[in-house]
Amino acid sequence: MKDDLTSKIRNRYNRVAPIFHKMDSKMMRSWRRELLSTLKGNVLEVGIGTGANLPYYPTSVTLTGIDFSPNMLQYARERASELRLKVDLKEMDAQNMDFQDNTFDYVVATCVYCSVPDPVQGMKEMLRVCKPDGRVILLEHMRSENPVIGKVMDILNPITVRVSGANINRRTLDNIGNAGFTFEKNECLFSTIFRRLVLNPNKEPNNNEGQKK
């Protein structure tokens, strides 16, 4: 069932890739810059999409980007080429990553967990591949804590899912806690809907090191 849902959402994102390519690069520029400009080391971006974040990474990082939509990745490749940026782009499911445990210094996702079919499983995978002393950095939108706005988002959610595959009423903070992270930063950027989050993987050094899922 989960595989069927993943395939359905992948097809939706393949379909809307040209729209995302035009829109993403114009949205949240200052938030993206603040999120990414100080990163260093070995970095993974989960759900890299059409590559809207690529202009904001320091050139010194070793960057890997994954997405389950081949059409989105094609736009990301074109953007990386235009920027003359070296990035290893892979078609991969965030819920089942083909990386060894404890690989990355930073794991990044921006507005991704609205569409991952099993968000807790996807976050557990981010935790698994993040080094014990690494950090997971998120820019996410989620269900409003305002009761009225939250209820409106619940009502509208079936429409947004059908059109784009994105859920606008995910309780992302709960999902993060259920995945095993601890919060180092939880900053509201727009009401309680958009947040910048810094997460500690909360695991001991050398925990499952060298193992591969």
Which residue segment(s) compose the domain that 79 sits in?
2-200
Please report, for the chain, how many H helices and E strands are present, in that order.
6, 7
Domain assignment present for 210 = no
Closest CA to 140 of 4, 35, 3: 35
Does residue 107 lie within any of the structural domains? yes
CATH code at 86?
Answer: 3.40.50.150
Residue 20: the pLDDT is 62
Quote the pLDDT of residue 186. 96
What pLDDT score does 130 carry?
98
pLDDT at 213: 44
Amino acid at 54: L
Assigned domain for 211 exists: no
pLDDT of residue 124: 97
Question: Could you state, in chain order, the average pLDDT of each consecutive group of 10 residues for the chain (213 residues)?
Answer: 67 61 67 94 96 94 95 92 95 96 97 92 97 96 95 94 85 95 94 95 67 48
- 133 domain-assigned: yes
The answer to whether residues 59 and 80 touch, using CB atoms and an 8 Å cutoff, is no
Q: Is residue 205 part of a domain?
A: no
What are 110's strand-pairing partners? Answer: 139
pTM of the model: 0.86
**Which residues, 6 or more positions from 3, have their beta carbon under 8 angstroms from its beta carbon?**
none
The Cα–Cα gap between 47 and 61 comes to: 18
Split into its structural domains, the chain has a count of 1
Rounded to 5°, the CA angle 4-10-11 comes to 95
Is 208 part of a structural domain of the chain?
no
172: in domain: yes
Query: What integer pLDDT is reported at residue 108 of this predicted model?
Result: 98
Distance in angstroms (rounded) separating the CA atoms of residues 114 and 170:
6
Q: How many CA atoms lie within 13 A of 135 on its CB side?
A: 15
Say which residues have a Cβ less than 8 Å from residue 7's Cβ, sequence separation at least 6. Answer: none
What's the pLDDT score for residue 164? 73
Give the ranges where the chain is alpha helix by DSSP (H).
2-24, 29-36, 70-83, 119-129, 147-164, 172-179
Q: Dihedral sign for Cα 59, 130, 133, 211, please.
A: negative
Q: What is the chain's alpha carbon radius of gyration, rounded to the nearest angstrom?
A: 16
| Residue 169 domain flag | yes
